[in-house]
Amino acid sequence: MDTWIWVVIIVVLLAIAVAAFVSARKKKSQGLQERFGPEYDRTITESGGRRQAESELAEREKRRSELDIRPLDPASQERYVTAWTEAQARFVDDPSKALSEADTLVQTVMMERGYPVDNFDQRASDISVDHPQVVEDYRAAHGISLANEHGQASTEDMRQAMVHYRSLFAELLEIRDDDRTG
């Protein structure tokens, strides 16, 4: 065969390989974007680029797959719903204490479900895999809780934090919208 035929064959094979690689990367990116929703965009912004963000999100998925996350039994669910209702009721008289209880309650539920709770950033990363739509609520609530500990949160801030915590709480308890209390 002539040399030019070999060159054409090699160029065609390289073009096919590049197209397959680009297609696979695009499919992976779309999958992560669909899976993580707004968390995908936030991670890109925070990590400084798509490649780094996608690597981080893939690592989160890998870490999450190694955790033994389990649903709550109905008795635990009921107990936590009652505790949440009590914390919400306490908000009227003592918003700061109610917010602290909400934070503790969310961590307790996470722990019982099997999520590690030692470090907030790791908790948020782990939660983002299963609950990407509410992880930003969790971050906001936690930030307000920290501000509250330093006396820097208004009652309205604390009310908003309770709303944020409730969105994650409902997800963790696997409560449908029509089952939510308060």
The pLDDT of residue 108: 97
Model confidence over 64-103: pLDDT tens digits? 999 999 999 999 999 999 999 999 999 999 999 999 999 9
Q: How many residues does the chain have?
A: 182
Least reliable range by pLDDT among 19-28, 97-106, 122-131, 171-180: 171-180
Helix (H, G, I), strand (E, B) or coil at 72: coil
- pLDDT: is 164 or 10 the higher one? 164
Q: How many helices (H) and strands (E) does the chain have?
A: 8, 0
- The residues, any chain, with a CB within 8 Å of residue 129's CB and separated by 6 or more, are 36, 60, 61, 63, 64
